[in-house]
Every structure is written in structure tokens, then in C-alpha cells.
Amino acid sequence: MQGYPSGLSLGRVNGATMMPSDDEVEPHEPGPPRLRTAIGRALAAGADTIVPPCCVVCRVRIGAHHLLCPTCWRDVHFIRPPLCDVLGIPLPFDTGERTVSAAALADPPAYDRARAVAHFSGSMRILVHQLKYADRHDARSLFGRWLAEAGRELMPGIDVIVPVPMGRLRLLLRHFNQAAVLAAELSRRTGVPMHPMLLKRTRWTRSQVGLTRDQRRRNMAAAFGVPRRRRAQLEGRSVLLIDDVVTTGATTEACARALKRAGAARVDVLALALVTNEALAAA
């Protein structure tokens, strides 16, 4: 992963160059272009008066919508290169070429490559929690941009984006699947189609909280499958699997295995946050 989230400089956070996000641009707006921008500006100004822009983490007032204040921004611990090419975890030094960590060599995952935006700590931990439990989706466009940046190496050649599916009961309780929200946002941004129905939970799994790595693996084994009628859509395709947080990788492992069993040629993984020892220490 090279470079870091464009458009996220503090100048932008402070609202010095407030640009309308893609969300604010109507695809078929009527009227001549100059009038359209004038109307857009007036509407944006009106919206700012009604709901003033505030930091998506701590709610302090800032200059533009859907961004972080400088304090919360500094508390996002982005995962920066050098990285293990397979697991996407940071490596202590740069060898100047593609490097695979000892962990990936000792226990190769079922997926091909994984990348994540940040460590699961600080502001990212709060953002993920808000996305998951608080029905707060105001950071959606920011997440889409971050994912596109973190997954830049993975995107070329990806045929379809697939979110990690949620159990039916949990979906009923929570009303939405946060991985699908992220996948939809990335799809909108990159133009790569998303298919939320390719992968399904095939059986109930108990919550993963508090389980060891081995228990998680056993809990997740055979928990996912691709419906027979959907297999033709997967045959020989490259899939990008999206999740919000990758903890021990047991869920992504089980998903990748199911996708490959059903004929996917390649499965890469992209997440907002990665739980690493570093993240555990900082949490």
C-alpha cells in the first residue's frame, strides 16, 4: 500500500477546500452546469446551517461534513508499508521487494492477500463500533475512500466485491450488515460490481467474542457457502471480500475457503481495521 488517503489532509478537515462529496452530486440534475453548481452550493450551505458539520468521531464542530477533527485524525493508526504481502500486517523493515511474513509462511491463509486501512484502536475502534452498533453511517463516504486507498494494489483484476454475510437472526436484530454497507460504498467508488448474495451463512455460529483462535476457527468452519445456482457467477472470478474488522482471520478464512470451493480463482480480503498485537497494545 503506497501513499495515504488523499483528500484527508488537515487543510481539508478544516474545511479550507470543501468539495462536494460524490453523495452530494445528483447524477441527472437538470439545468445548465453553472446554475447547477450555484444551486448545489446554496443547498450545501443550507444543509450546513441545519446540520452543522462535525467530526464523525467526537462530534466537535469542523469545517466540512463526513470528516475527522485533527485530534481524532491523529488517533487513526493507519497501517503503512512495509507490509507482509499476504497478511497485510506491518513489517519491521523494508526489504525493497515483495515480502511474506514468517506467520504467513508458517500458516498460509485460504485467501490470497489481505489489506486493512488501520489498526483496530483509537478513532478507528470508535468508528467501527458506531458503524456496527449505533446505526451511525455518516462516515460511510470516508470509509469508501479509505478502503479504496488501502485496497489500491488489490483492485486491478477484481471482478466482484462480496461482503462477509451476516446471520439472518443478527441481520433481523441489527437491520443492516455493516460489511455490506462498506462493500456498497467501495463498489460505488470503484465501479466494480458488488454481489451481496453470492456468499451465505449456512449455519448459525455463536458470537466470536472471547473465543481463542482455534475456537474461532472451529466455530466458523463450514459456516459459509455459495448457493448452487450462483456458482456460475463465481467460476474463475477474482473476488474481493469485505469485512469491517479482521480479528484472527477465522471468518475471512472460512469465507475464502467457501468462495474457492465454489470456483473463485482468487480471493483477496479488504477490511477497515485489523486486530494486531500493536492494536491490542494501543487499545
> In this structure, what are the phi and psi dihedrals at residue 254, rounded to the nearest 5 degrees?
-65, -40
Q: Is 69 in the site for Zn ion (CB under 5 A)?
A: yes
Candidate segments 4-12, 13-21, 65-73, 168-176, binder of Zn ion by CB under 5 A: 65-73
Q: Is 54 in the site for Zn ion (CB under 5 A)?
A: no
Q: Is 282 in the site for Zn ion (CB under 5 A)?
A: no
Cα 162 to Cα 2, 6, 166, 283, distances in angstroms = 24, 25, 12, 29
> In this structure, what are the phi and psi dihedrals at residue 197, rounded to the nearest 5 degrees?
-105, 0
Candidate segments 23-31, 61-69, 98-106, 245-253, binder of Zn ion by CB under 5 A: 61-69
Candidate segments 45-53, 71-79, 174-182, 211-219, binder of Zn ion by CB under 5 A: 71-79
Output the smallest distance, CB 73 to Zn ion, in A.
Answer: 8
Candidate segments 72-80, 112-120, 167-175, 202-210, binder of Zn ion by CB under 5 A: 72-80
Q: Is 246 in the site for Zn ion (CB under 5 A)?
A: no
What 8-state DSSP symbol labels residue 90? B
Short-list 17, 186, 205, CA closest to 115: 186
Q: Is 62 in the site for Zn ion (CB under 5 A)?
A: no
Strand partners, 225: 200
Output the smallest distance, CB 70 to Zn ion, in A.
Answer: 8
Short-list 67, 84, 66, CA closest to 1: 84
Output the smallest distance, CB 269 to Zn ion, in A.
Answer: 29
Short-list 253, 259, 257, 177, CA closest to 213: 253
Candidate segments 20-28, 48-56, 228-236, 248-256, binder of Zn ion by CB under 5 A: 48-56
Q: Is 58 in the site for Zn ion (CB under 5 A)?
A: yes
CB-wise, 55 or 179, nearer to Zn ion?
A: 55
Q: Is 72 in the site for Zn ion (CB under 5 A)?
A: yes
Q: Is 57 in the site for Zn ion (CB under 5 A)?
A: yes
Beta-carbon contacts of residue 130 (< 8 Å; ≥ 6 apart): 56, 136, 139
CB-wise, 55 or 226, nearer to Zn ion?
A: 55
Is the CB of residue 281 less than 8 Å from the CB of residue 134? Answer: no
Q: Is 55 in the site for Zn ion (CB under 5 A)?
A: yes
Residue-wise burial string across 192-203, b where 16 or more C-beta atoms lie within 10 A, e elsewhere: bebbbebbbbee
Task: Please report, as ranges, the residues that interact with Zn ion according to CB under 5 A.
Answer: 55, 57-58, 69, 72
